[in-house]
Amino acid sequence: MPEFSTLGRQVMDRKILVGRRIKELRKSHKLSQEDLADRAAISAKYLSRVEVGRQSPTLDLLLRLADGLDIEPYEMLYFEDVAPVRQLRERAAKLIDEIPDKDIARVVGLLEAVLH
């Protein structure tokens, strides 16, 4: 059986993952925190705390957020791609560090184009 501290850390990690996933879904639906908070009948400040993992959403809140995002509730708990994304971000950071100074402006332009 895992130690309490290990178990507590796992719970905290999952809470952060849920929050990040909610934020990711909100942004993919082009909603501000205020928009989604209004749809879920909560304050934007509370939603912010959920998105950063400081507040645990209740089942009722998860259902209201899912309705507000027009998704199925299970989609907020889908983390399969978290590890590969983390690895890709680390690899991207290493590659950026290796880019010659003369080319960095082009790379920044490319990244900005991807974001917009």
Are 58 and 86 in the same domain?
A: no
What is the reported pLDDT for 11?
58
Q: For residue 69, which of 111, 39, 95 has the smallest C-alpha distance?
A: 39
Residues 70 and 47 in one domain: yes
pLDDT in tens, 8-43: 566 567 888 899 999 999 999 999 999 999 999 999
Q: Are residues 55 and 87 in the same domain?
A: no
Q: What is the pLDDT of residue 19?
A: 93
Same domain, 46 and 67: yes
| Average pLDDT value for residue range 72-87 | 75
According to the model, what pLDDT value does residue 12 have?
63
What does residue 45 show for φ and ψ, rounded to 5 degrees?
Answer: -65, -40
CA distances in angstroms from 72 to 17, 68, 88, 100, 103, listed in the order given:
17, 10, 27, 45, 43
Q: Which residue pairs from 12-16 have beta carbons closer than 8 angstroms and sit at least 24 positions apart in sequence?
A: 12/53, 15/53, 15/56, 16/52, 16/53
Query: Which structural domain range is residue 89 located in?
Result: 82-115
